[in-house]
Chains A and B, each alone.
Chain A
Amino acid sequence: KQEVTQIPAALSVPEGENLVLNCSFTDSAIYNLQWFRQDPGKGLTSLLLIQSSQREQTSGRLNASLDKSSGRSTLYIAASQPGDSATYLCAVNQGGSEKLVFGKGTKLTVNP
């Protein structure tokens, strides 16, 4: 059974810092991996999707990497801003269906 773990559970940084969020998964046979953002009391916003054949994806200040063989992904946020404060969720999609398995998320607080 696939399990997704995110470390740390919470992170607080001053504005302007670069930071890395970590995601690990137990079964490396994934189809793709997605990073989402969730604001309090809201649904999820898709940030980046990495196919299993890819190593990384970039969107603006965000860069996600994937090391499928070791079961790890990182989300790098450059020059963090208070508006980046949210919970970041990692999810993997395994072959055969579109179901996602989610981690518990990392709650990020960027202090002005």
Chain B
Amino acid sequence: GAVVSQHPSRVICKSGTSVKIECRSLDFQATTMFWYRQFPKQSLMLMATSNEGSKATYEQGVEKDKFLINHASLTLSTLTVTSAHPEDSSFYICSASYHRDQPQHFGDGTRLSIL
């Protein structure tokens, strides 16, 4: 089955640090990638939709200057949390899709902890 690799799985860093998270589709070309944030016992909240070669589309209330998304190729999208603060601590998950009639494939998530 389709595989999405997300790296790193866990990050612990000091406040003010910028953190980059990578999302790769390993065995298919993803026309669209999605970035989600999940709080404990809460649903996944879509942050942005990323299409290869174009600017990401951010959901309402998500700061695009805070959460920088780059979709450089059909197999790689990155999310950079800039100048992270404790309130940015969360579980971030990416997913990739190559056709809307097919299931989205998710990475294993990144647990971000800002001290």
Q: Which residues of chain A have a CB within 8 Å of any CB of chain B? A: 4, 31-32, 34, 36, 41-46, 49, 51, 89, 91, 93, 97-105
Contacts and interface: CB of A to CB of B under 8 A. Distances in A.
B71 interface: no
Among B32, B44, B46, B100: residue with most chain A CB under 10 A: B44
Interface stretch (B11-19, B62-70, B102-110): B102-110
Interface residues of B, number: 25
B106 A44 contact: yes
Query: Chain A interface mostly helix, strand, loop or mixed?
Result: strand
B46 A42 contact: no
A57 to B, nearest CB: 11
A59 to B, nearest CB: 11
Contacts of B97: 98
B27 interface: no
Contact of A43 (B43, B103, B108): B108
Given A31-B100, A34-B104, A49-B102, A42 B109 contact: yes
